[in-house]
Every structure is written in C-alpha cells, then in structure tokens.
C-alpha cells in the first residue's frame, strides 16, 4: 500500500494528476467494497463491449440503477444492426449481473 503512494509521489505527473491518483488510492483503502464493486462493474462492461460492440455507461457515482447505451447510425441498415446488438445485450449474462450489483442484490 505504501508503495502505491510512493510511486504516485515520485511519478513525473503534474500536481493535479498526482492529487487525483492519491485521492483514488485513498478511496480504495477507505472503501474496499466500493473498489471491488467498481472493478466488477468495469469488467462486466468490458465483456459486454467485447461481445456486443455496445458501450454501456454506468450511473454517475454508481448512484441509481439506470444504464445508458448510445448508438448512432448512418442508414436504416445500421439501425437494424444496432437493434440486433441491443437484443444480444438484453440477453447477455453480464447485463443482469450489472443490475444486481447496482441494486445490491449480488
């Protein structure tokens, strides 16, 4: 743990970046459950992106349980392709896991 702080302080980053990194490290130490939750959610979001090509956005500060997905299309065919991806997303096991994690039921 001390190594984390030492590495941050000795890094060539600017003051603002160092403070931000220190704050994240201290929050991880103080709230280890939240850090695990954030890690689990990030892994699930990454798997969904890899499997469906859709980027799922989580609620700000993990407050609430609404997810976001933004799509854009240049043709009706692209919209049809996105609709198929959204269908796959709704059936993806990690989407249910994300909702369970956000609602505190897992």
> Which pTM value belongs to this model?
0.73
Contact call for residues 55 and 20 (beta carbons, < 8 A): no
What backbone phi and psi angles, to 5 degrees, belong to 68?
-125, 150
Structure tokens at 62: 């993990």
Whole-Å CA distances, 27 to 51, 64, 82? 31, 20, 37
pLDDT given for residue 34 in this prediction: 86
Residues of the chain with pLDDT under 70: 1-2
100's enclosing H/E stretch is helix 93-103
pLDDT in tens, 44-68: 999 999 999 999 999 998 998 899 9
pLDDT given for residue 25 in this prediction: 82
- Domains of the chain, by residue range, sit at 1-30, 32-106
């Amino acid at each position: 743990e001390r190594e984390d702080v030492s590495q941050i302080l000795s890094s060539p980053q600017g003051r603002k970046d160092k403070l931000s990194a220190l704050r994240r490290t201290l929050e991880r130490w103080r709230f280890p459950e939240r850090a695990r939750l954030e890690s689990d959610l990030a892994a699930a979001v990454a798997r969904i992106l890899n499997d469906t090509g859709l980027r799922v956005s989580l609620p700000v500060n993990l407050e609430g349980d609404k997810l976001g997905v933004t799509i854009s299309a240049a043709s009706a065919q692209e919209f049809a392709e996105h609709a198929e991806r959204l269908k796959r997303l709704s059936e993806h096991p990690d989407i249910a896991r994300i909702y369970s994690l956000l609602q505190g039921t897992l």
